[in-house]
Structure formats: structure tokens, C-alpha cells
Chains A and B, each alone.
Chain A
């Protein structure tokens, strides 16, 4: 009896360490996480090391292949592709992260409210279903076309488009998070610890922030990774259709779109932005896979 007690008496350990232990066993996820960190560091710190201006036009050095001075070559105006990739990555990753954050905030708020307050449930879920029934890509295109010019006039050409794209992606991708969170909250509400907290008179506000939210963190984290992937792809798709950022303001999607004009002459030029988008999304999806396994207590025990 005492033996058994001694064996189990380990120092108390935060559950996130268990999650990390499980996450480490998923090689793809680990590799994906390393690559994603590398990409984020490269695009945000890289411009300090590779100081060539992405908008600097050197018309004599146009259409060059990879050289020491321009490791990724130059485009039709002689701008350095490598520094444009870094700058474009900055925008793409920033759009991905902020749009994901926005959609998580909206999705979690609606999910928690719908799950926790019975009065709001029907209304909010109807609302979610309605959003799910909207044809999103066509609507995204229409919204961007309509509000591009007013927002540009308000915030300047770059910030305006950034705000618009982040907002538009954020408000069209929160539905899955909301549904998953609502389902989890509905289940949590029936648990004993919630009853215990209620019986000592915990107000709703603290109930949600102390008891409900920490327990729905797992699905939120998994949707966060999917959200980043989705946002990066959507932004690139919009830029690819010519409805994203202006062309002097590079993003990966825009670079890919511009390179397709030179597909016949310089087919290698589409590779850099395409690979960057694909590998980033792939790494984020692998992180999501690993997180899903690591956060699932049924798998973690094994």
C-alpha cells in the first residue's frame, strides 16, 4: 500500500508538460514546428540581415538567374527576389496570424456564449448556420472589390488592404471554431466541478474565464493552427486572383501571380513563392496534427 503511494508521489507537474512530451513523439509535428519558427524568424528578422530594399529597381540587373548578389534572382524590373520573398512573407505570415486571432476570438466568443447561455443558443447557432451557408469565396471577392477603395482612402493603400483582408478572412472562418467550442461547453456544463463552482456562487463572468475557457483550450489551439493555414491560403488565393494587395507591395500570393506572366520564359520564378506558401501551410498542418494527438487525453496516456 505504502509502496504504491511512494511510487505515484511524483512532484506535481503541469499538464502542458505532458502535452509537450506527447507532441515531441510526433516527428512530423516537431519538424513542422521547427520549420514554422524558422520561417517566422526568417521573414521578420531576415530583412535586418539581407538589407537590399525589395522595392529598389535596378533595371540593368533585370531577369537574372540566381547569382551571389541575388540568390533567388531578380524580376522583370531588376528587384531582388530574395528580399521581396522576405517582405512578402512578412505580410503573408502577419495576415495569417492576425486573421487567425480574429477568427478565434469571434468563434470562441460565439461558441462559449451559445453553449453557456441557453437563451442565446438557438439564435447564435442559427446565425452560425447562416454563415456556413454563405458562398464564401465569391463573397470575399465581392466584399474586397467593394470596400477596397474606401479603406485605402482611409488608412493608406497598404494598411487599408491589410485591415480589409484580415477582417474579411477573420469573419468568414470562425464558424467551425464556434461549433466545436459550443459542443465542448455544453458537455462541460454538466460536469461536477461546474456544479461545485455554481454552488459556491461563482458569477457567470468568472465561471467562463476560470472554469470554462481553460477547459476548451485544446480545440481552440487545434483550430488556431488550421486557422493560420486557411488564412495564408485564402490571402494568397485573393492575391492570386488579383484582388489582394497591390503589386508593388509583395505577398507570396502576389509574387506567384506576377510570376505566372513569365511562366514561359522563367518558369523557375513561380517556384519560390509557391514553395514558401506550400511548405508553411504544410508545416502548420503538421503542427495541428501533432497538437490534436497531444491534446487528446485518450492518446496521451499511451
Chain B
């Protein structure tokens, strides 16, 4: 197992490097000029200097190398410096956003809490709703609960989040006025009333994403439970006289959780990517919104770093899914 993990970790390095290169080369083709905003009265040689100050003077491969060093060496050093008070990264160049001229990672760090709260919460809630629904649907196949459950999950799976979001805003913000339609990041939770405010503004985005995630996971859960419920070992367990609760919730559930857990792990990065739209609908200023504004503003270092962070998440959670699969299912041995 350990060997496998190490091997997969080592394999992830070239994959990530290659993805980083693809993103870098794509952005290299960008037609936008970062100097477009500079007034025409600025003489060309000054413009050339400004361009070099942005790090644009060098050939492509050197800039890619510099970005790699900044992202993988300098940024972790800053992280350590901030947390342990060391001075490893003194005077080293960080990845700088062209929009704000401040380090990209600082802005990312500002945006992460909002995304984590909304997206993370919605994923947890989605999983918590999906598992019982999937279990009951499969156990009582073709009952009214199953019919309603599969229908709702089909709807949650088909209706795009940008429509559910807008629909909820129409109903609960415009018509009923219960929840605010815009997520207020400046809200500081320090009393009961601000806590209620925070909950109110989180309800709609969390619900939208949770519905979407729950729909997908409950379908997997139901299918996986159905596969296992007809197996011979279930009959054996029942024949031994085990109670129905033990049979379903211990024997069947544990076995059907194996594929579902990997699906849950694989879904995490997709949730971050898909949350771009929900963040846009509810004006949550998280990572997704940061990416959209950076794309509009032609802020290449920001786009590059954010896209790469998404890629790292995907590769990481693929690895987690593989390892979980090996741990949960003793029949699978990678070595």
C-alpha cells in the first residue's frame, strides 16, 4: 500500500508539470496585452521597461521555469515564514497578480474561506442527504419513496445550478423576501443576530449545490446498494438469523460504500469547479468568482495559478480515491 502511494505520488509530479505546461502555453497565446491600459503618451522604451517589470521580457521556457519556482518553492517558503516566523523567502519574487499588483496567493488565501464555507458545507450536506435516500430507495425498490426519490434526484441532476439558483432568488428573495440574494462577505459573525444573518445568506447557495450533489451521489448509492442486496452473502447473513438492521446497515452498506466513497472523493474537485457558476449567481466572492474576474481582466498569472490549483485538487483527489479504494476493499491490492 505504502509503495503504491509513493509510486502514485511520484507519477502525479509529471502529470501536474504537464498540465501546468499546457495551461501556460494556452495562456501564452492570449491576444490581450497587459500594457493596453497604459496611456499612449508613455514612450515606448518606458513601456518596454514596464513589460520587463511584469516578467514578460524573457523567452517562454524561462518564464515557465520561473513560474514553477515561484509556485513550488517561493510560495511554500512564504507560507512557512508566515506561520513559524522564519525568514526563508526574504527578498524572493512571488507570483504577482497583474490586476492588483499584489501576490496571487494572498488574494487566493482571502477568497478560500468563502468558497470552503459555501462549497464545502453544501458537499457535506449533499452527502448526508444522499446516503440515507440512496439506502432507503434501494431497500424499498419501486416503493413510492423510491419513485419520488429517483424523480427528485433526476430533476436535481438535470436542472442546471444556474437555473435552480435564479429560481430560488426569484421565489425567496424577490417574492417572499426571506433571504438576501447577494452573499455579504464583510459580515463578521460575533453575535446571535449576525450568526442568523450568516445562516440566511448561506441557505440558498448551499441548498442549490447540495441538491445537485445529493442527486448524483444518491443515484450511485442506490445503484450500488441494489447490486449488493441480491448477493449470496446477504442471504447467508439473513439465514444466520441476523436482524434486518444488521444485514442492511452493516453487511450491505459497508460493501456498497466502497464505490460510493470513491465517487465522493472524485467529486470534490468537480464541486470546486462547478461552484464557479453558483458563486457567480449568488455573488459569493470565492475562488470561482476570482477566476472569472481574472479571465475578464486578462490577469494571466492569476488565471494560471488558479487553474493549476484546480488541477492539483483533481490529481490529489484521484489519488485519495485510489488509496481509499485499496483500504476499503481488501481484495484490491496494488502491490
Contacts and interface: CB of A to CB of B under 8 A. Distances in A.
Interface string B276-303: 1100100000000001100110000001
B311 A134 contact: yes
B91 to A, nearest CB: 32
Given A145-B295, A286-B154, A136 B277 contact: no
Given A146-B31, A236-B162, A278-B158, A135 B170 contact: no
A135 B311 contact: yes
B162 A240 contact: yes
A142 B175 CA distance: 36
Interface stretch (A66-74, A82-90, A112-120, A262-270): A262-270
A41 interface: no
A239 B314 CA distance: 25
Interface in B155-176: 155, 157-160, 162-163, 166-167, 169-170, 174-175
Interface residues of B, number: 44
A281 B291 contact: no
Contacts of A169: none
B307 A142 contact: yes
Nearest to A136: B273
B257 interface: no
Nearest to B159: A278
Contacts of B29: 146
A282 B162 contact: no
Contact of B166 (A132, A256, A264): A256
A126 to B, nearest CB: 9
Contacts of A277: 159-160, 163
B273 A135 contact: yes
A9 interface: no
Contacts of A135: 269, 273, 307, 310-311, 313-314
Interface of A is mostly: helix
Interface string A117-149: 000000000000110111111110111011001
B315 A267 contact: no
A55 interface: no
B27 interface: yes
A229 interface: yes
Contact of B292 (A236, A241, A271, A278): A241
A150 interface: yes
Nearest to A283: B158
Contact of A146 (B26, B175, B274, B314): B26
A253 B175 CA distance: 23
A274 interface: yes
A146 B304 CA distance: 13
B15 interface: yes
A274 B310 contact: no
Contacts of A243: 295
Nearest to A289: B154
Interface in B46-72: none
A134 B19 contact: yes
Contacts of A28: 154
B280 A241 contact: yes
B310 A138 contact: yes
Contacts of B318: 132-133
Top-8 shortest CB links A-B: A135-B310, A274-B163, A282-B158, A278-B159, A267-B170, A281-B158, A138-B307, A137-B273
Interface of B: 15, 18-19, 22-23, 26-27, 29-31, 154-155, 157-160, 162-163, 166-167, 169-170, 174-175, 181, 269, 273-274, 276-277, 280, 291-292, 295-296, 303, 306-307, 310-311, 313-315, 318
Given A138-B276, A281-B158, A285-B158, 8 more contacts: A133-B311, A134-B311, A136-B273, A138-B291, A142-B23, A256-B162, A274-B163, A282-B155
